[in-house]
Amino acid sequence: MSYAAKTILAFGAYMLLQGAILLVAPNVLLSIVQIPETTEIWVRTTGIAVIVLGFYYVNAARAELKPFFQWTVYMRTFQLIAFIALVALGMGKPILLAFAGTEFLSGLWTQIALRSEGK
């Protein structure tokens, strides 16, 4: 497995864990990001969507789908910009930037790995 694939695999595992928490114990994660606890279904359906995305990441890594790796770099950068805008507009608390920052930094890690492999 290439270095770039390993970065995608690690991120996929992170997403699977995050999705599982949202599905099984959503209020744990919501309390961390200072969102009021809820019993509404939206948070669990979001967890399912994150698990699905994590599955894609893990399997793209295993298949060495390098175009996918690059696409994730673009979208993880977009996510950071979008979260900054949400916080700047007062629609989200600054703690959200910790999650967006984690995703952005993992995307940067993937980009560095892709460049080191000459892709």
Joined tokens for residue 28: 């744990």
For residue 82, give every residue at least 6 positions away whose Cβ sits within 8 Å of its Cβ, in sequence order, or none. Answer: 100
What Å distances lie between residue 88 and 8, 28, 80, 104, 115, CA to CA?
A: 29, 25, 12, 18, 32
In contact, 19 and 50? CB cutoff 8 Å: yes
Q: Is the pTM higher than 0.85? A: yes
| pLDDT value, residue 42 | 94
Q: Rounded CA gap, 33 and 84, in Å? A: 14
- Is the pLDDT assigned to residue 76 strictly greater than 70? yes
Mean pLDDT confidence for 78-82: 96
pLDDT in tens, 91-115: 988 988 988 999 999 999 999 999 9
The 8-class DSSP code of residue 65 comes to -
